[in-house]
Amino acid sequence: MEIILSAAIGVLTASGVYLLLRPRTYQVIIGLSLLSYAVNLFIFGMGRLRVNAPPVLEPGGVGDLGRFTDPVPQALVLTAIVIGFAMTALFLVVLLASRGFTGTDHVDGREQRHD
């Protein structure tokens, strides 16, 4: 499980960074989204991976840390997802505004010349 998660984070980050460095705004926004998925998984992983362990207290198990998984990273992930989502939406609006102003989806607002 560890290897799958870390591979997933790695692939998402690598593709995210690659797309972030591309010249089209749409690629940039997808890159940022992938990057934020990778970060969210990473935060989740920092709470250590546990199977079949709830993050909330159950009757009878209070004080027995072995039965529960760490709830804090899950709460952090939730916050990070919400914020990341809002920021992506905002970026999308700016992207459309830029497209409207310049008529191109290049991040610099004009096409590169190939001469």
Partner 1 sequence: MTNWMHHLLILPILLPLMVGAAMIPIDERNRMAKGVMGFVSTLALFILSMVLMRIASMDAAPAGSGVYQLGNWPAPFGIVLVLDRLSALMLCLTSGLALAAQAYSIARWHTSGHHFHSLFQLLIAGLNGSFLTGDLFNLFVFFEIMLAASYGLLLHGSGPLRVKAGLHYIAINLAASSLFLIGVSLIYGATGTLNMADLSMKLAALSPDDRQMVEVGAGVLGVAFLVKAGMWPLSFWLPTAYAAATPPVAAVFAILTKVGIYVILRLSLLVFGASAGASAGFGQSVLLAGGLLTIAFGAIGVLASQAMGRLAAYSVLVSSGTLLAAIGLGHPSMIAGALFYLVSSTLTIAAFFLLIELVERGRDAGADVLAVTMEAYGDADEDEEEEEAGAAIPGTMAILGLCFCLSALLLAGLPPLSGFVAKFAILSGLFGLSGTDAAPAISAADWTYVTLLIVSGLAAMIAMNRVGIRTFWASIENTVPRVVVIEITPVVVLLAACIFLSLQAGPAMRYMQATADSLFDPAGYTERVLSAPRAGGQ
Give the footprint of partner 1 on this chain (CB under 8 A).
Answer: 20, 25, 28, 32, 35-36, 38-39, 42-43, 45-48, 72-73, 76, 79-80, 83-84, 86-87, 90-91, 94-95, 97-98, 101-102, 107-109
The answer to whether the CB of 47 falls within 8 A of the CB of 63 is no
Cα–Cα distance, 17 to 108 (Å, whole number): 18
Separation of alpha carbons 10 and 77, rounded Å:
18
Phi, psi of 23 (to 5 degrees): -85, -5
Query: Cβ closer to partner 1: 6 or 79?
Result: 79
Instruction: Indicate the SS3 state at residue 83.
Output: helix
Residue 99: CB minimum distance to partner 1, A: 9
Classify 24 as helix, strand or coil: strand
Query: Smallest gap, in angstroms, from Cβ of residue 52 to partner 1?
Result: 21
How far apart are CB 58 and partner 1 at their closest, in Å? 20
Q: How far is the CB of 26 from partner 1 (least distance, A)?
A: 12
